[in-house]
A and B are shown apart, each in its own frame.
Chain A
Amino acid sequence: MSASTPNTPGRPQYDVVIVGAGVSGNTIAMQLGLAGKKVLILEAGVAVPDSREEYMENFYLALAKTPEAPYPTIAGRTSVNGSITQADPATLPTPRATVLGLGHKPNLSYLVQAPPEADDKNNKDPQNPKPLPDGSVRGLQFSSTYERIGGGTSWHWLGTSLREMQNDIQMKTKYGVFYDWPVTYSEMQELWALAEKTIGVAASVAQQEPLEVVGLKFPPGYQYPMGPIPMSIVDQTVSTGVAGLQVPGMLDGDGDKRMYDVFVTPTPAGRNSEPYQDRRVCAGNTNCIPICPIQAKWDPTVTLGTALDTGNVTVSYQSVAVNVAVQGKSATRIDYLVWSRDANGKLTSEKKSVTGKMYVLAAHAIENAKLLLMSQDDKGNKGIANSSDQVGRNLMDHVLYLSWALINPNDDPIWGYRGPLATSGIESLRDGDFRKYRSSFRMEIGNEGWNFSASDPYNTTMDYIQGANNALLNPNKQRLGGLALVQKLNSLLTRQFRIGVMFDQAPLPENRVTLDPTYTDGLGLPRPHIDYGLDPYTMEGFRVAADVCSKVYERMGAQEFTTTGKGGTGDFTYKGKNYHYYGAGHVMGTHRMGNDSASSVVDGSQRSHDVPNLWIVGSGSFPTVATANPTLTLMGLAFKSAKSILTELGS
Chain B
Amino acid sequence: MTDIPTPAPEADVQDFANMSAALTGFQASVLKPKLDPVGLARTYYEFALAQVGAASMSALLNAYRSIQSQPPQAVADMLLETVSPTPSNQALICQSIIAMWYLGAWYIPGVKGDFGFPPTPLQIISSQAYTNGLVWKVMQSHPMGFSPFTFGYWSQPPGSLSTFGVNTGSGGGQ
Contact = CB atoms under 8 A, between A and B. Distances in A.
A10 to B, nearest CB: 52
A63 B77 contact: no
Interface in B7-43: 22-26
A291 B145 contact: yes
B80 A479 contact: yes
Contact of A233 (B72, B103, B131, B154): B154
Given A59-B145, A461-B99, A482-B76, A124 B24 contact: no
Contacts of B114: 124, 470
Interface string B82-97: 1000010000001100
B123 interface: yes
Given A61-B130, A285-B144, A486 B166 contact: yes
B172 interface: no
A546 B43 CA distance: 46
A481 B130 contact: no
A468 B113 contact: yes
A233 B153 contact: no
Given A448-B144, A457-B135, A230 B120 contact: no
A489 B135 contact: yes
B26 to A, nearest CB: 8
Contacts of A567: 115-117
Contacts of B139: 416-417, 449, 457, 489-490, 493-494
Contacts of B138: 457, 486, 489-490, 493
Nearest to A125: B115
B151 A455 contact: no
Given A79-B120, A418-B153, A457-B135, A283 B75 contact: no
A270 B141 CA distance: 23
Contacts of B167: 483
A462 B113 contact: yes
A124 B111 CA distance: 17
A4 B130 CA distance: 45
A486 B25 contact: yes
A481 B98 contact: yes
Contacts of B140: 415, 490, 494
A455 B82 contact: no
Nearest to B158: A415
A462 B152 contact: no
Contacts of B22: 481-482
Nearest to A423: B154
Contacts of B121: 63, 79
A482 B116 contact: no
Interface in A511-533: none
Nearest to B87: A479
A77 B124 contact: yes
A466 B127 contact: no
B77 to A, nearest CB: 7
A435 B34 CA distance: 64
Interface string A201-236: 000000000000000000000000000001111001
Q: In this complex, which of B99, B105, B114, B154 has the most chain A Cβ atoms within 10 angstroms of its Cβ?
A: B154
A65 interface: yes
A308 interface: no
Contacts of A236: 155
A522 B167 CA distance: 54
Q: How large is the interface on A (under 10, 10 to 19, 20 to 34, 35 or more residues)?
A: 35 or more
Given A417-B141, A493-B138, A482 B117 contact: no
Contact of A79 (B102, B123, B166): B123
B122 interface: yes
B7 to A, nearest CB: 23
A651 B72 CA distance: 76
A563 interface: yes
A582 to B, nearest CB: 14
Given A233-B155, A483-B166, A459 B144 contact: no
Contact of A566 (B115, B118, B157): B115
B94 A417 contact: no
A626 to B, nearest CB: 29
Given A457-B136, A458-B103, A84 B120 contact: yes
B113 to A, nearest CB: 5
Given A60-B130, A61-B130, A285-B147, A230 B94 contact: no
A484 interface: yes
Interface string A27-59: 000000000000000000000000000001101
A57 B145 CA distance: 11
B127 A482 contact: no
A386 B48 CA distance: 60
A479 B82 CA distance: 6
Interface string A442-466: 0000011101001101110111011
B43 to A, nearest CB: 14
Contacts of A480: 80, 82
B123 A273 contact: no
A61 B153 contact: no
A481 B76 contact: yes
Q: In this complex, which of A233, A466, A471 has the most chain B Cβ atoms within 10 angstroms of its Cβ?
A: A466
A481 B116 contact: no
Contacts of B145: 56, 59-60, 285-287, 291, 293
A188 interface: no
A419 B153 CA distance: 7
23 contacts: A59-B145, A63-B105, A63-B121, A82-B108, A286-B147, A418-B154, A419-B155, A448-B144, A457-B136, A459-B113, A462-B118, A466-B95, A468-B113, A470-B112, A470-B116, A479-B87, A482-B22, A482-B73, A482-B75, A483-B72, A489-B138, A493-B135, A493-B139
6 smallest CB-CB distances across A and B, nearest first, come from A419-B154, A482-B76, A481-B76, A60-B127, A287-B145, A567-B115
Interface of B: 22-26, 72-73, 75-77, 79-80, 82, 87, 94-95, 98-99, 102-103, 105, 107-108, 111-124, 126-127, 130-131, 135-136, 138-142, 144-147, 149-158, 161, 166-169
Interface of A: 56-57, 59-65, 77-79, 82-84, 124, 230-233, 236, 273, 281-287, 291, 293, 412-413, 415-420, 423, 447-449, 451, 454-455, 457-459, 461-463, 465-466, 468, 470-472, 478-487, 489-490, 493-494, 563, 566-567
